[in-house]
Amino acid sequence: MSESSPAKNIVLGVTGSIAAYKAADLVSRLAKAGHKVHVVMTKDAQEFITPLTLQTLSRQPVTTDLYDEKADWHPGHIELADNADLLVVAPATANTIAKFANGIADDTLGAIHLATLAPVLMAPAMNGKMWKHPATRENVKKLMDRGVSFIGPEEGLLACGYEGIGRLWPVDGIEEEIGRLLAGSD
């Protein structure tokens, strides 16, 4: 982050993909760049990486439950949505993409998505057949038509053992895209 680019509030959604462990590197990079990173984890993401890891790297509390808001009378998810300069979901599962496309807010991340006016960047990670499925393609198109940006996925060896498209885009590339989107929002 240069002197001309002030610190931004980034809400980072982490969803239930094996690639969730890469969120630690992304959080670390963004925090080192001087940004305030507020991590929101889905229940499934917590099966792959702990909130404590991301809290330590971000130096911010990690939001894991829509109903665990004891710090203040203000709804925390609305505060995060209001203060976000950018909402990033990395990794973004097919399930989360479908929820966003259809306005489903049954968890904190979905509620923040519906409540924020900030730009949204999604970095998909899933099985290649899931990525190519007509429902996923339709959901991605619907979100892109609404102005949501996507980066990836890339091709390579997938956690399921297949070779093909579906890998999370490299963290340095996601970081660059975040910088580009933040520069455009000034």
Q: Which residue carries 């610190």 as its tokens? A: 7
Known active-site residue 21: no
Residue 2: per-residue pLDDT: 43
**CA angle 168-47-108, nearest 5°?**
80
Strand partners, 9: 36
Q: pLDDT 10s digit of each residue in the chain, 186 long?
A: 444 457 899 999 999 999 999 999 999 999 999 999 999 999 999 999 999 999 999 999 999 987 765 555 455 788 899 999 999 999 999 999 999 999 999 999 999 999 999 999 999 999 999 999 999 999 999 999 999 999 999 888 777 777 878 899 999 999 999 999 999 866
From 144, 157, 159, 160, active-site residue: 160
Q: pTM of the full predicted structure?
A: 0.92
Nearest to 86 by CA among 40, 42, 138: 40
**Separation of alpha carbons 121 and 178, rounded Å:** 8
Domain architecture of the chain: domains with CATH = 9-184 (3.40.50.1950)
End-to-end CA distance of the chain: 14
Residue 132: per-residue pLDDT: 96
Q: Which residue carries 């240069």 as its tokens? A: 2
**3-state helix/strand/coil string of the chain:** CCCCCCCCEEEEEECCCHHHHHHHHHHHHHHHCCCEEEEEECCCHHHCCCHHHHHHHHCCCCECCCCCCCCCCCCHHHHHHHHCCEEEEEEECHHHHHHHHCCCCCCHHHHHHHHCCCCEEEEECCCHHHHHCHHHHHHHHHHHHCCCEECCCEEEECCCCCEEEEECCCHHHHHHHHHHHHHHCC
Residue 4: per-residue pLDDT: 44
